[in-house]
Amino acid sequence: MEIENLSEDAEDFTGNIWKLSNGQTVLIDVGTGDAWKAIEKLEEIDKVVITHSHYDHVDNLPETVEKFGPEVYAFEPENLDTSAEKLSEGDEIELCGESFEVFHTPGHKNDSICLYSESGILFAGDLLFPDGGFGRTDLEEGDRELLIESIQKITELDVEQMYCGHDKAVTEEANSQIRKSLSEAEKRESKY
């Protein structure tokens, strides 16, 4: 399976848009603003999975659904401007021929999820970032204690590649970076 970041060249502030391809095209989040330019160039989109409903991850969803008609999945579909199928903790979803388990990971936002495959791929949304980073908890629905619990859940996984909602992909020492994120979050120091 090939994974690329469609929002890499966006000038507007946006979340990452991870494009998975292997016989089908799947997007993890759809970003906002001029990131749409990269999406609209695609020939097809079969599925979209939303990691959480902050605007920088979902604003391009109505245009994406209108143009491509993909199946859309989210933890709380009612938070979106389009219909979607509900995902729950422990669900398995097939993306590009690979099975991913859904982990409900609140703390940054109540509807946050991570997706993990047995091959070691983690889509972390805004729960985790490279180099010990973690999602903001000073926004509405943010809760540092819940975020810590969510990160603890992810530390139990064997992660080889981590694709976050912002920043670069982590392809080396992902587990140690996740543990570093947990350690930083546990300091309970203000990020902003």
Q: What is the CATH number of the domain that holds 52?
A: 3.60.15.10
pLDDT band at residue 192 using 50, 70 and 90 as cut-offs? low
How many domains is the chain partitioned into structurally?
Answer: 1
Tokens (6 digits) for 165:
């909602």
Provide the residue range defining the domain that includes 52.
2-186
Check whether 107 has a pLDDT greater than 70: yes
Confidence at residue 190, expressed as pLDDT on a 0 to 100 scale: 80
Question: Would 191 be classed as within a structural domain?
Answer: no
Confidence at residue 28, expressed as pLDDT on a 0 to 100 scale: 98
The DSSP call for residue 163 is E
Q: How far apart are CA 69 and CA 175, in angstroms?
A: 36
> What is the pLDDT averaged over residues 71-94?
98
Check whether 22 has a pLDDT greater than 90: yes
Question: Would 192 be classed as within a structural domain?
Answer: no
Question: Would 104 be classed as within a structural domain?
Answer: yes
For tokens 């979902």, name the residue: 58
Q: How far apart are CA 50 and CA 132, in angstroms?
A: 23
Beta-carbon count within 10 A of 66 CB: 9
Q: What is the pTM of this model?
A: 0.97
Tokens (6 digits) for 106:
């609140």
Q: Are strands 121-125 and 161-164 parallel, antiparallel or unpaired?
A: parallel
For the purposes of burial, counting CB atoms within 10 Å of the CB of 94, is it exposed (0-12), middle (13-18) or buried (19 or more)?
exposed
pLDDT in tens, 26-46: 999 999 999 999 999 999 999
Confidence at residue 189, expressed as pLDDT on a 0 to 100 scale: 87
Q: Is the dihedral of CA 172, 175, 180, 185 positive or negative?
A: positive
Question: Would 105 be classed as within a structural domain?
Answer: yes
For tokens 């350690």, name the residue: 183
When the pLDDT of each residue in the chain is averaged and rounded to a whole number, the result is 97
